[in-house]
Amino acid sequence: MIAFLMLLISYFFIFLIINKLANETKWVSHSYTVINNLESIKGYITDAETGVRGYVITKDSNYLEPYKSGSGAVINAYDTLVILTSDNKEYSGEMVALRSLIHNRLGYLSKSVTDFREAGLVLTPQILQNRAAAKQTMDSIRLIVKRLQEKEHAIMNERSEKLSGFFTNTKAITITSLIVVLFTIIYSLIILNRENKAKEKAAAQVESYSKELEEGVKELKRVNTELLELKSIEKFAATGRIARTIAHEVRNPLTNISLAAEQLKELMSENEESDMLLEMVGRNVTRINQLVSELLNSTRFAQLESSQADLNQVLDEALEQAKDRIELKQVTVETTYEKGLDKIMVDREKIKLAFLNIIVNAIESMQQGSGVLRVSTQKAGDKYITEIKDNGTGMDEETLQKLFEPYFTNKMKGNGLGLTNTQNIILNHKGHISVKSKLGSGSSFIIVLSQNGVVN
């Protein structure tokens, strides 16, 4: 506590001295500025004289440029000097006299130029007489400037001596503070050495455990993601196997039924009721065969016709195809695309169909006039993430579990193969699709693809 109090007192005095140093330094700088400004006034008048002298000698008006610039600059320099010296009342008389002399000198120069022009660019006795008076005025200006500079130098020297004293005091206090600091450090090291080692060891263990936990969480997330992807692929493959089995078992009887119906039609005599019934059998055989084909197509790994495509552009095209539904439902569409995305290798038409199926489902789930469809893209590492989000009715947990199963649907119309086909397309691209939804709070479909069509 004693060491701390000594440090506190030392820093308090250092703070006071630093404030005084800053204040005195400002005034020393102020004196330099005043001196330089006085020198500038003298220099600007000299420039103006040089310009007039060059004009008289060469009779070339281009030499009047220093006269014009110097005349304007000397007035500005004087005004600045008045502001700088406004705090010193001793300068007021000198400043008034200097202003009068400056105006007189500029007046002589202006009259000399005018008289020289009116005399046909010839020196006249009147011009020569004015030169003598002008010289006397300039000497007076130099004299006043010199006096003011000497006064300012004296003030600056006085302030510099104060600064030197402040620096000496600061040095003494700083050395004292350093001694106190050293004492405090040594004392702290002796008393707290063991405690610090124990704390460092505990902190290292905590950091180690934290890193291990963080790595474990990352690994768990990675494994969980892989398991979800494998589960989706296995579920899709199992569905495909079941679909192929069903197709095989259904198509064989269907073929026999179709052939039998055709033979019956040929054997039976013309009968309107019999023909109608046999025609009904044929239509339903064709319908069942079509449903089996759709089921097979939605659960089969298809051959892709890959090409480079702009993900944002593909989404815009899918939205354009759904334009009629969007306008009918009066849905507001908000797109948030990451700019400058690289092109990715996809089957453009198939991936567009996958996006369109999700967009259509989102539109149908929203109330007319209040629906908001949000479509966004972003890149994370080598993955391209697309999110299609709505504020529709949402889904419960049971619906989410069966969402991609063939023929599962909550719609009055539809065969329940749209999202199955969508999942098929995403998996064909070796991508991943996931859904977040809550009943009454809308749904969010997240599609993950990679540039070369492979997700690690």
* Residue listed under structure tokens 């939804």: 437
Residues found in the chain: 456
CATH topology of domain 307-450: Heat Shock Protein 90 (3.30.565)
Contact 136, 107 (CB under 8 A): no
Q: Which of 32, 25, 347 is closest to 170 using CA atoms? A: 25
CA distance to 145, 164, 301, per residue, from 311 (Å): 76, 71, 22
Q: Which of 425, 424, 431 is closest to 449 using CA atoms? A: 431
pLDDT at 356: 93
**Where along the chain do its domains lie?**
2-190, 232-298, 307-450
Handedness of CA 387, 391, 396, 402 (dihedral sign): negative
pLDDT band at 454 (very low <50, low <70, confident <90, very high): very low
Q: Which of 70, 74, 40 is closest to 54 using CA atoms? A: 70
| Proportion of the chain in helix, strand, coil states, percent, rounded to 5 | 75, 10, 20
Helix (H) or strand (E) holding 358: helix 348-365
Q: What are phi and psi of 394, to 5 degrees?
A: 75, 180
Q: Is 117's pLDDT higher than 60?
A: yes
Q: Which of 427, 454, 262, 443 is closest to 358 using CA atoms? A: 443
**pLDDT for 355-393, tens place per residue?**
999 999 999 999 999 999 999 999 988 889 999 999 999
State the Cα–Cα distance between residues 225 and 247, nearest whole angstrom.
33
CATH topology of domain 2-190: f41 fragment of flagellin, N-terminal domain (1.20.1330)
pLDDT at 387: 95
Q: Is 417's pLDDT higher than 80?
A: no
pLDDT at 377: 94
CATH topology of domain 232-298: Helix Hairpins (1.10.287)
Contact 445, 358 (CB under 8 A): yes
β-strand pairing of 372-380 with 332-336: parallel
* Residue listed under structure tokens 């269907």: 254
> Which residues are bridge partners to 333 per DSSP?
373
pLDDT at 301: 57
Q: Is 283's pLDDT higher than 50?
A: yes
Contact 294, 367 (CB under 8 A): no
Q: Pick the residue with more confidence: 18 or 35?
A: 35
**pLDDT for 137-177, tens place per residue?**
888 888 888 888 888 788 878 777 776 776 677 777 777 77
Contact 21, 135 (CB under 8 A): no
State the Cα–Cα distance between residues 289 and 281, nearest whole angstrom.
12
Q: What are phi and psi of 401, to 5 degrees?
A: -65, -30
**pLDDT for 196-224, tens place per residue?**
888 888 888 888 888 888 888 888 877 77
pLDDT at 49: 83
Contact 45, 201 (CB under 8 A): no
Q: What percentage of the chain reaches a pLDDT higher than 90?
A: 16
Average pLDDT over the chain reads: 80
Contact 455, 383 (CB under 8 A): yes
